[in-house]
Amino acid sequence: MGPLLDAWRLAVGTLTAVPVAPPRTVDARTAGRAMLLAPLAAAPLALVVAGIGLVGPEVGLTPLVTAVLAIAGLVAGSRALHLDGLADTADGLTASYDRRRSLEVMKSGAAGPAGVAAVVLVLLLQVTALTSVLRQDHGWLVAGVLVCLSRCSLALACTRGVPGARPDGLGATYVGSVRPLATVSIWLGSALVAALLAGLPGLLAVLAAAAAVVLLLRRAVTRFGGVTGDVFGAAVELSLAALLVVASA
């Protein structure tokens, strides 16, 4: 139970603002388990989004205002960690064709024009798509579940065989920590959940999210030589955007 508890604490403490005791041990095995637990660890964030989506219309808020508040709650609940990764990844991809220079830009932490544009555009996409989702029957429930499913992207990004861009940094412990079979299993599980919840559109949403993450990882490996913690964050945000866009249709 100890290793699993450490993985749970690592997942919750890293991916949410929920206060938990620190894990006693953080190694590659614990990190891999934490990434597999990420969809469950995101349950508090899903409850925030679903709760706002349910209560908003009851107090007279429009779907657009409700969606903005829901996404704002999600950002606050994750301490904007994934948005920071999205911004740094976008800056790195546009900074230079030199790998070392791109990694230096990403490590600096300062958001450049590309990073700001990426955050604004992805947030607009998420809010607009969520507005449509909330108009659907039980849209608040669908939105909450999609928040959890978007965290499956972390297992894919940490799959063994996906190289790391550098030996240090926040993501170094997580790189290659998830077995391919575990990644396939968690995505098949997410596809089943989505299909049971929303039928064919739910299944298509999961496929779109997986495709978006794969394209991001391929680009990161080509440009940076591998993935970083920032790429993990970008994967989460792009996955959620893809899920919401397809579900909104």
**Between the CA atoms of 110, 115, 116 and 118, what dihedral angle is there, to the nearest 10 degrees?**
-160
Burial class (CB in 10 A: 0-12, 13-18, 19+), 89: buried
**Between the CA atoms of 144, 149, 1 and 170, what dihedral angle is there, to the nearest 10 degrees?**
-110
Task: List pLDDT tens digits, range 89-108.
Answer: 999 998 877 888 888 888 87
How large a percentage of the chain has pLDDT more than 90? Answer: 81
- Please determine, for residue 208, whether its predicted confidence score (pLDDT) is greater than 80: yes
At which residue do the structure tokens 């690592």 appear? 10
User: Looking at residue 102, what is its pLDDT?
Assistant: 82
Concatenating the DSSP letter of every residue in 149-208 gives HHTHHHHHHTBTTS-BS-SSSTTTTTTT-B-HHHHHHHHHHHHHHHHHHHSHHHHHHHHH
pTM for the complete prediction? Answer: 0.94
> What number is the average pLDDT over the span 226-240?
96
Other CB atoms within a 10 A radius of the CB of residue 104 amount to 13
> What number is the average pLDDT over the span 201-226?
96
Instruction: Identify the bridge partners of residue 44 per DSSP, sorted by sequence position.
Output: none
* The token pair that represents 223 in the structure block: 């440009």
Task: List pLDDT tens digits, range 122-137.
Answer: 999 999 999 999 999 9
- In residues, how long is the chain? 249
What are the sequence ranges of the domains in the chain? 32-248
**Could you tell me the pLDDT band of residue 1, with boundaries at 50, 70 and 90?**
low
Calculate the alpha carbon distances from 3 to 40, 77, 133, 158, 180 in Å.
17, 25, 38, 19, 20
